[in-house]
Each structure stands twice: as structure tokens, then as C-alpha cells.
């Protein structure tokens, strides 16, 4: 009698598909430059202003970037929660910040504040980037210093040869609001895919020579330490310092 031989193949369960990432990281890099040729910028180094011809040496440059938003391809916006970052320029470094948990997708623009919004200005001394120990909080006047630039110049109008800009002010009355908001399109679509090692990056050039844009010189304005028209002028000039060089 013939017997049929039946071979049973073991059933293999397919591996479950790995979950597709839903969030990624976007790094924003601030590469500081000098003048229309985008020459290197450095602290404690003599720089010649391209318009005024003044010799300017920075010893301090730091400022707040806050309320960062990214515009999706469909026109909606993603906002980073608790978005307050203190950018501190050091020697031979390009400071950067990371935006975490950014939803995957395609993005076409960025919006951000140079300074600190009015709500946080009246919330008293805080922690993290907004901690008073960072030297960016006015103890004599409620509120934050948005931009701090200090240094020296032989052409400074100050007898000490120094210049010092402590720029702040958040009130709309009396010409004292120095908060500035930039909205800038990307040169190409930025894709956030969320895969490990595939962080997206926004690379800014920040041109420090813009402090003296529009014919302003250190002879005209060497010290600004309180809200007002002069602080607004410096804030507006510095607002134009931010250019997106490239994304990837």
C-alpha cells in the first residue's frame, strides 16, 4: 500500500512593521558674520564696519530667540512649546538650538521673535533661558534685555571708548516696544522625516554689522540702556541681520 508523504512547513510569522516616526528634530544654527561679504565674525577681534569705517571690537553678543513656529506645506503652523532660547556668541562657535517633537512633514517657512514676549516680561524672574543669572534681566525695571552687545571702538563717542547696547522694552505706549518678529520663507521645502540621524537643519547667517545699518555710527549712538526710540532703532536694525543661508 502506498502512503502519501505530507511535508508540513512551519508557519513563520512576519515581523511586525516598525512604526513610522511621527516626530523629528530640527536644528537651527546661528552662524555670525560681518558685513555684506559675510566675513567671519569673532569676539575680541577688531572689525571694520563696511559703511562707517569705524573699528569695532565686540566683547559680548547675546540675544533671545523665542516663540519659534514652523509653517507646514498645507499652510498650518506648528509652534514649539515653552520656546525661549538665549543665544550666546562665543569664540569660534556657531550657537544652535534644537526644536524637538516636530511633526513629520514638509515645511516652507519659519517665524520667531527676537526678544521676549510681553507675558513673560511681566511674570517676574524665571528659570532656564529666562533665569536672572544669565545677566539678561533688568533688576531696576521689570523686564528682559532682549539683545546685549558690548565692546569698544576708537571712534566711540564715549570717553571710555566703549559701546554698550542693552535693548529691551515691551510696551506699545511711549514708543518703547523693542520686540521684533521675523517671518521668513525657506529657500526650498524642508522635510522632517523623524528617522534617527536625519535631523533637519536651518542655517542662519546673522550679520552683526547690521547694528549700525542705515548710516548709524558709534559716534551717534554708543550707549543704549533703557527702552525708548534708540532701543527701537537698534532692535529694528538687528532684526534685519537674520538671513537663511540654507536648509537641509
What pLDDT tens digit does each residue of the chain (248 aa) get? 454 455 545 555 555 566 778 999 999 999 999 999 999 999 999 999 999 999 999 999 999 999 999 999 999 999 999 999 999 998 766 899 999 999 999 999 999 999 999 999 998 779 999 999 999 999 777 799 999 999 999 989 888 999 999 999 999 887 899 999 999 999 999 999 877 777 899 999 999 999 999 999 999 899 999 999 999 999 999 999 999 999 98
The H-or-E segment that residue 118 falls in is helix 118-121
DSSP 67-112: EEEEEETTS-EEE-TT-EEEEE--TT---EEEEEEEESEEEEEEEE
Helix (H) and strand (E) counts in the chain: 2, 16
- Summarize the chain as % helix, strand, coil (round to 5): 15, 45, 40
Report the half-sphere exposure of 149 (CA within 13 A, side-chain side): 25
Query: pTM for this one?
Result: 0.90
Q: Which of 146, 135, 154, 136 is nearest to 57 (CA)?
A: 154
DSSP 129-188: GG-GGGS-B-SSSSSBEEEEEEEE-TT-SSTTSEEEEEEE-EETGGGEE--EEEEEEEEE
The pLDDT value recorded for residue 92 is 64
- Domain borders along the chain are 41-247
The pLDDT value recorded for residue 16 is 59
At residue 29, the 3 state secondary structure works out as: strand
Amino acid at each position: 500500500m502506498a502512503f502519501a508523504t505530507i511535508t508540513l512547513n512551519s508557519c513563520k510569522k512576519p515581523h511586525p512593521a516598525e512604526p513610522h516616526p511621527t516626530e523629528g528634530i530640527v536644528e537651527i544654527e546661528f552662524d555670525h558674520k560681518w558685513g555684506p561679504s559675510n566675513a567671519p565674525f569673532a569676539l575680541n577681534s577688531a572689525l571694520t564696519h563696511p559703511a562707517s569705517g569705524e573699528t569695532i571690537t565686540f566683547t559680548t553678543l547675546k540675544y533671545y530667540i523665542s516663540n519659534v513656529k514652523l509653517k507646514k506645506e498645507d499652510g498650518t503652523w506648528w509652534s514649539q512649546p515653552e520656546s525661549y532660547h538665549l543665544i550666546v556668541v562665543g569664540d569660534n562657535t556657531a550657537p544652535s538650538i534644537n526644536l524637538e517633537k516636530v511633526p513629520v512633514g514638509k515645511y516652507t517657512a519659519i517665524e520667531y521673535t527676537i526678544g521676549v514676549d510681553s507675558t513673560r516680561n511681566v511674570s517676574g524672574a524665571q528659570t532656564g533661558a529666562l533665569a536672572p543669572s544669565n545677566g539678561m534681566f533688568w533688576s531696576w525695571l521689570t523686564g528682559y534685555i532682549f539683545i546685549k552687545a558690548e565692546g569698544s571702538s576708537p571712534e566711540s563717542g564715549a570717553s571710555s571708548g566703549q559701546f554698550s547696547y542693552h535693548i529691551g522694552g515691551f510696551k506699545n505706549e511711549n514708543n518703547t516696544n523693542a520686540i521684533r518678529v521675523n517671518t521668513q520663507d525657506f529657500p526650498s521645502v524642508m522635510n522632517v522625516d523623524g528617522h534617527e540621524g536625519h535631523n533637519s537643519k536651518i542655517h542662519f547667517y546673522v550679520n552683526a554689522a547690521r547694528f549700525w545699518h542705515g548710516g548709524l555710527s558709534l559716534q551717534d549712538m554708543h550707549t543704549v540702556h533703557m527702552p525708548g526710540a534708540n532701543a527701537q532703532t537698534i532692535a529694528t536694525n538687528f532684526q534685519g541681520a537674520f538671513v537663511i543661508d540654507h536648509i537641509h
